[in-house]
Amino acid sequence: MTAATQTLSLRTPSLLRKVLWLDALSSAGVAVLLLLTASPLASPLGLDVALLRGVGLSFLPFAAFVAWTVSRDRIPRVAAAWVVALNALWVIGCLVVLFLGWLQPTTLGTVFIVAQALFVGLMAEFEFIGLKREGRAG
């Protein structure tokens, strides 16, 4: 490896780092969106305002944890693994809530829940792949 490629590899963010930043930013964005628009979203989604606000509030510490994790010079493997696990649990929780009928969202609400669960699931998958790649590289 030449000095030029070593510099490039140090400056080029890894897959894990890219996906963790996307996770942190999208989680924070959804948190703000839910907190600011819970009332107008409740009726079209068929979900309670308090539930939407509670989800928004729960995303804030998660987003902060992911941002802290990805902002380290070296991403802590245990912290990244926790992010993957928490994302996987979120996806499972969303599907369980829908399939067991604990919520009765509108069609739009169901699409909203499934779409964000798919997005979170994809992030967890890419984070897992990135974590495996980092393990082989390090």
Give the tens place of pLDDT for each residue, 83-138: 999 999 999 999 999 999 999 999 999 999 999 999 999 999 999 999 999 876 55
Report the C-alpha gap between 36 and 52 in whole angstroms.
10
pTM to 2 decimals? 0.86
Specify if 116 maps to a domain. Answer: yes
pLDDT, the chain, mean: 91
| DSSP single-letter state for residue 110 | H
Amino acid at 79: A
Specify if 6 maps to a domain. Answer: no
Report the C-alpha gap between 47 and 43 in whole angstroms.
7
pLDDT surpasses 80 at 10 = no
Specify if 5 maps to a domain. Answer: no
Specify if 4 maps to a domain. Answer: no
Specify if 19 maps to a domain. Answer: yes
Specify if 109 maps to a domain. Answer: yes
What percentage of the chain carries pLDDT values higher than 90?
86
Specify if 59 maps to a domain. Answer: yes
Specify if 74 maps to a domain. Answer: yes
Average pLDDT over residues 43-49: 98
Phi and psi angles of residue 98, each rounded to the nearest 5 degrees, phi first: -70, -50
- Structural domain of 100: 14-137
Total structural domains within the chain: 1
